[in-house]
């Protein structure tokens, strides 16, 4: 278990209970993942926390069941902007943010239709290829901003593909050798001319 304060742990437990209740009505996470909710979703999302400044504004793309957005909001006291097109998931995100005391704005639109002021951070988890994430993220990042993506074992191939269309600075921040997943931090994103 990732170390968090007692207060943060309590807020995460409120979130987990709410997700379990809502998951019976709308598919927020796979039913087969529910017994592994903490390690597979909550703790995985919390891996981003050390790389985000406390209280920062963060835009999370495809927020779905709140991963990693609400975990960051809870653990970093971040101001979360969650972009999600599914209206039922938006209702869950609003309720979970309220119940967990997260400063949040839910944007009920497709990512490519959202118009938001740029932020210091953009996050996403299990959403799209790296090339697609860069396309969506570039307009939402401040010039000195950083995109933080939780990616799977295909990251090396996705990075090679993305470098064909994008100039960027990147570094691997957290590499989980067992699962092959990693966190990639990307900055200075510019399309190849």
State the binding site for S-adenosyl-L-methionine: 62, 67, 111-112, 125
Q: Which parts are annotated binding residues?
A: 62, 67, 111-112, 125
Query: Which residues, 6 or more positions from 111, have their beta carbon under 8 angstroms from its beta carbon?
Result: 61, 62, 83, 85, 136
53: buried, middle or exposed (CB in 10 Å: 19+, 13-18, 0-12)? exposed
CB 156 within 8 A of CB 180: no
73: buried, middle or exposed (CB in 10 Å: 19+, 13-18, 0-12)? buried
Tokens of 161: 């593909």
Start-to-end CA span in the chain (Å): 45
Integer Cα distance of 170 and 149 in angstroms: 11
CB 80 within 8 A of CB 97: yes
CB 97 within 8 A of CB 50: no
């Amino acid at each position: 278990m990732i170390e968090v304060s007692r207060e943060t742990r309590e807020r995460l437990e409120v979130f987990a209970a709410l997700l379990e209740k809502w998951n019976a009505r709308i598919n927020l996470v796979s039913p087969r993942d529910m017994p592994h909710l903490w390690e597979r979703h909550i703790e995985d999302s919390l891996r981003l926390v050390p790389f985000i400044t406390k209280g920062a504004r963060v835009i999370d793309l495809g927020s779905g069941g709140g991963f990693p957005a609400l975990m960051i909001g809870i653990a970093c006291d971040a101001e979360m902007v969650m972009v999600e097109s599914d209206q039922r998931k938006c209702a869950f995100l609003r309720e979970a943010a309220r119940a967990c005391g997260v400063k949040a704005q839910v944007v009920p639109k497709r990512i490519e239709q959202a118009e938001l002021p740029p932020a210091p951070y953009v996050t996403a988890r299990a959403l799209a290829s790296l090339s697609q994430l860069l396309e969506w993220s570039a307009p939402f990042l401040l010039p000195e901003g950083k995109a933080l993506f939780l990616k799977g074992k295909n990251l090396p191939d996705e990075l090679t593909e993305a470098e064909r269309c994008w100039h960027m600075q990147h570094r691997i921040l957290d590499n989980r050798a067992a699962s092959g997943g990693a966190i990639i931090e990307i900055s200075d994103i510019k399309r190849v001319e």
